[in-house]
Amino acid sequence: MADVFAGTTALLAGTVRIEGRIMPASNATFFGSVMVRESEASGLRCVYKPVAGERPLWDFPDGSLAGREVAAYLVSEALGWDVVPPTVLRDGPAGMGMVQAWCEPDPEQDPVDLVLGADAAEGTPRGYLHVLDAFDEADRPVSLVHEDSAPLRRMAVFDVLVNNADRKGGHVLPMVGGHRYGVDHGVCFHVENKLRTVLWGWAAQPLDPSDLPALEQLAEGLATATSPMRAALADHLAADEIRALTSRAAGLLGRRRMPLPGRGWPSIPWPAF
């Protein structure tokens, strides 16, 4: 996607201009532009989440949500899968925060979906994987499904690595052309297993062979104490969080199989969308 975004250079170079607030959001989240030249009528559209607008979380006492979002981008880049849009930590109108390139999703695509009523009773749609069945407020059958695609599969693998505790359906952005971006990674990298995701369609399945080289490259970089990867992550994560990430990468490669939902912790975020 290098033809869409010039990496993180433009996000760091200009002035952040807030144009509105994104609602609803539990933390301060703004839509704006990075103005590389003040004379420009418009700049690079972006999302800006200042650290000062974050609500404290009891189970993520160290670091910042903004820093974790940048760390997620670094892992995405190390894998070469382009899961996370270009993301930087920089100063803005409300102080230091996360600035991420804006990705406009295609409203005609639903990579994660709810199948309702009679359609749910007929089974999983072609090209989709089944996650769970439930009933809505009118006692009608409902099925949570997601597409069976390489970009979404790699996002699911990425979520296992970063221990994503909040992969909602709305955090998957379908792009024209078939690419999928994942956003909102502020509650990742916990040292305990907190994986909560709607992307359980590949649970217990073997890893796709085409994904293994990227995982091996990431694991090798994390296992080297003096690697540029570990040095970059150390600016945003605690040492025990980096060790936990290293262990998850090695464990996933060792098993070569996607995990099952765990016990003692909700496996689906709420709300799911």
Q: Mind listing the pLDDT tens digit for each residue in 145-171? A: 999 999 999 999 999 999 999 999 999
**Residue at 17 is within a domain:** yes
Residues 140, 191 within the same domain: no
Measured in whole angstroms, the distance separating CA 93 from the mean position of its chain's CA atoms is 25
Give the C-alpha distances (Å, rounded to integers) separating 72 from 81, 193, 226, 237. 12, 16, 20, 10
Same domain as 98, residue 119: no
pLDDT band per the 50, 70, 90 thresholds, residue 96: very high
Q: Are residues 182 and 76 in the same domain?
A: yes
Do residues 116 and 31 both lie within one domain? no
| Helix, strand, or coil (residue 30) | strand
79 and 173 within one domain? yes
- Last residue in a domain, options 147, 172, 197: 147
**Displacement of CA 38 from its chain's centroid (Å):** 32
Worst-scoring range by mean pLDDT, 38-52, 94-108, 222-236, 256-270?
38-52
pLDDT over threshold 80, residue 123: no
In a shared domain, residues 243 and 124: no
Distance, CA of 232 to CA of 56 (rounded, Å): 24
Q: Does residue 143 sit in the same domain as residue 199?
A: no
Is 168 within the bounds of a domain?
yes
248 and 116 within one domain? no
Classify residue 178 as left (phi > 0), alpha (psi -120 to 50) or beta.
left
100 plus 196 within the same structural domain: yes
What is the mean pLDDT of the segment spanning 266-272? 84
Domains in the chain, number:
2
Please state whether the predicted TM-score (pTM) of the whole model is above 0.85. yes
pLDDT in tens, 35-90: 876 656 668 899 999 999 988 877 777 779 999 999 999 999 999 999 999 999 99
Within-domain flag for 271 = no
> Are 33 and 63 part of one and the same domain?
yes
Query: Domain check: are 92 and 209 in the same one?
Result: yes
Do residues 229 and 74 touch, judged by C-beta distance below 8 A? yes
From residue 164, how far is each of 68, 78, 188, 236 by CA, in Å?
Answer: 10, 17, 5, 16
Rounded Cα distance between 267 and 237, Å, is 24
Of the chain, the end-to-end C-alpha distance in Å amounts to: 26
Q: Is residue 263 part of a domain?
A: no
Domain with 153, as residue range(s), is 9-106+149-255
